Structures are given as structure tokens and as C-alpha cells.
Amino acid sequence: MSENLEQLQALAQKKSAVEWFGGLFKRVHLEIADTGEKFTIIRNAEGAEVVPGFQQDKPNFVITLESDNIRRLTAVFSDDAVDAQEEYRIVKAMLKPCLRAVLDMGLMGNKTLMDVVKVDKHWQEALLDPEGNEDEKLTVVYVNRQWLIIPGYYGRPQRRWRLTPRELLDFQRRVFAADEAGNFSAWLDLARWYVGWRKKAAATVAA
């Protein structure tokens, strides 16, 4: 058994880690860039299971990490507590894969539904670090019936989001819940929440 697999399996049995990642996914494909290892992490009633290789069922998202990231993640949950800096680092690693997963969901490819919900087709977002500084700046734009994620700020967006790790986690959990429900009613409820949240959240029209 490789060190990475051993550490991942230990994390999958650790209550604090299972609870922290709760509601974010059901199945994830994880690739370790420096070793070439591939794993599937599956949520179940008992917690989570780590299986070598990519299982054929479609994952909620795909993430690439280094062995050092796995060691750091193990260290984070060693004391069963995640502080603000640790949470920020975890969310930063998950940001692009989770965003890509959201953009690939059915709602975001249905022009009629996007028009009903008034989904922006050009926005910018940044993850805020614990000191409130903008990090991991991204531009998202809908072009030729596809969503593009571009590092940095480009163009004149309809909206710019400056989001904390907690806000991003809350958003991801709500989207995942709607996707898991798999019905129009759940998406409509999410859309109502999103429209209200958009008015109050840290979002402004860029100058």
C-alpha cells in the first residue's frame, strides 16, 4: 500500500475530516500529480471509502494534488480542528474543480433556465484569504455555448464576487444538494435562494 493511499484511507475514517467534507460531494476522482496515482473517493453511510483507480461512475468533480498536499491535509485533521488558514488552503485547492463541476451541471447549459434565473454570463470572482485579500482571481464567461474559466480578471464583467472560504463552501453544498435531488423543484428552490443571496452577498458590478 502506498503512503498516499494509506493516508487517504486514514482520513476517510476520521470523523472530523468526514464531517468537514460533508455535503460537498458523493464521488470524487483524485489524481496525485507527482506519483501518477489515481483514486476514487466515495461517500457512504459510514463515512467515506478510498478506492484505487478511477471508477467508471461519473464523479462530482476531478481534482489533482501533490503528495505533499495529502501530507498537509493529514496534518490539518490531526488535531480534529480546522482553523481559518487551513480552511482557506483546502478551499483554494478545491476552488477550480468545484467551479468546473457547477458549470458542467444541467442548469448551466440550459439557456432558458439561465435566462429565468438571470445567471450572469460574464463574472469575476476571487477567494479571500484570512486577512481579506483577494486571491485566486478568476474570470468566468459563457461563449459559443460553453463556459470558460480564465485565471485573472479580464473584460468588463456583469458582477465581481469576493467570497470567503465559508461562503464558497455554503454555495457548493447547496448546489450539490440540488444536483443530488435531481428534480426541477430542487433547482427552482436553489434559484430562489441564489437570487436573494446575490443581492446581499459580496458582489458588485465592476467599474
Give the CATH number of the domain where residue 46 resides. 3.30.1050.10
Residue 20 lies in a domain: yes
Q: 108 and 70 share a domain?
A: no
Structural domain contains residue 93: no
CB atoms within 10 A of CB 146: 10
Q: What's residue 207's pLDDT? A: 46
Residues 61 and 128 both lie in one domain: no
Q: Residue 139: which residues within 8 A CB-CB, separation 6 or more?
A: 122, 123, 124, 149, 150, 151, 152, 153, 154, 155, 157
* Identity of the amino acid at 73: L
Q: Which of 19, 53, 82 lies at the terminal end of a domain, its last residue?
A: 82
60 & 115 share domain:
no
Q: How many CB atoms lie within 10 A of CB 114?
A: 16
β-pair partners for 139: 124, 150
pLDDT higher at 109 or 137: 137
Percent of the chain with pLDDT over 70: 93
Q: pLDDT tens digit string along 154-200?
A: 999 988 899 999 999 999 999 999 888 878 788 888 888 888 887 76
Average pLDDT (68-94) is: 94
**Alpha-carbon distance values, 199 to 27, 95, 196, 206 (Å):** 32, 22, 5, 15
The average confidence (pLDDT) of the chain is 89
Among the candidates 47, 82, 117, a domain finishes at 82
pLDDT average, residue stretch 71-88: 94
Of 119, 115, 160, nearest to 137 by C-alpha is 160
Q: Which residues contact 188 (CB under 8 A, 6 or more apart)?
A: none
pLDDT-derived band of residue 44, with 50, 70 and 90 as boundaries?
confident
One domain for residues 110 and 51: no
User: Residue 59 sits in which domain range?
Assistant: 3-82
Say if residue 109 is in the same domain as residue 69.
no
The total number of structural domains in the chain stands at: 2
